[in-house]
Amino acid sequence: MHERFERDGYLFVKGCIPKKALLQCREAYFHHMTPSGLLKEGSNPIDGTFSHKDSRKFLPPGNLRRLFRLKDDEESEKYLDLMLSAHEAPFYLHYCETPELRAFITRFMNWEKPHMLQRTMIRAFVPNSELTPVHFDQMYLRAGPPTSIAAWVPIGDISLEAGGLMYLEKSTDIGQKTEADFAASAHNLSDEERVSALNKNMNDGGFLSRDIVAYGKEARRKWLIAEYEAGDVIFHNPWMMHASCKNKDPNDRIRLATDLRFVDPEKPYDNVSYVLDP
């Protein structure tokens, strides 16, 4: 596993955590979100069937909403309030403490007590909504060294059509070079601006590109995609270039997943909180 992680920049672990706990989290999340108008009326919350309202109303908080300069109406504000509050809800906090996940990281990273950064985000992408553009995590962790490991966890099954997380093949070197170029051009910035993914040297929204196909062609690397099942976890390093596909699920299911980032608290890490992670 270590050899694969070092070679590829990511590690896809099937059945890493109990499926039952994830499905309980999924059902609780969609119950929590029911007043927002997100779900099809009369549908079973655990299915996560989209209501077919304007998809942009249901973009997650953060850079995508900023990028499109969306103005929130009453329904959008209701959705955002519920989505943000879900991050503090008992069902999500309980899920974040999944012992099997922490046990795996403890063994894999040889960390005695892995610490989870509080910068998590539940990502609920409705069918035909915008996708997450190209980025790498260290862009959002510049206040510390690249010592974190990310765990991307699908909360429910995600078909190929539903467009889960995808990686640019063996792109650790691209992330490192890109960040080095940004650092070289940041000599005239204040410390606060330098560590921001939204500083004046970055693209709008803090992303590297919204044209994922063109980015892969220019880099001459393949985009790697996969199906995911509840219980799977995919880990990646802070430099790995990644994005998401557009959700084209044939059953109108909302794609639900979350990012968790872990560090060794005994070593330096970025402990600054941001609200505009991608």
Residue 12 lies in a domain: yes
Residue 186 lies in a domain: yes
Model confidence band, residue 147 (pLDDT cutoffs 50, 70, 90): very high
Residue 37 lies in a domain: no
Tell me what the mean pLDDT of segment 19-43 comes to: 94
**Residues 38-92 pLDDT 10s:** 999 999 999 999 998 888 778 766 655 565 556 666 777 888 899 999 999 999 9
What per-residue confidence (pLDDT) applies to 183? 82
Residue 141 lies in a domain: yes
Counting residues of the chain whose pLDDT is more than 90, the rounded percentage is: 66
pTM of the model: 0.89
Residue 115 lies in a domain: yes
Domains: count for the chain: 1
Residue 174, domain CATH:
2.60.120.620
Residue 159 lies in a domain: yes
Q: For residue 200, what are the domain limits?
A: 2-19+90-263
**Residues 197-241 pLDDT 10s:** 666 556 655 678 889 999 999 999 999 999 999 999 999 999 999
Q: Which amino acid is at 173?
A: D
Average the pLDDT over each of 9-13, 97-101, 139-143 and give the range with the smallest value. 139-143
Do the Cβ atoms of 267 and 109 come closer than 8 Å? no
Q: Given a cut of 50, is residue 277 above it in pLDDT? A: no
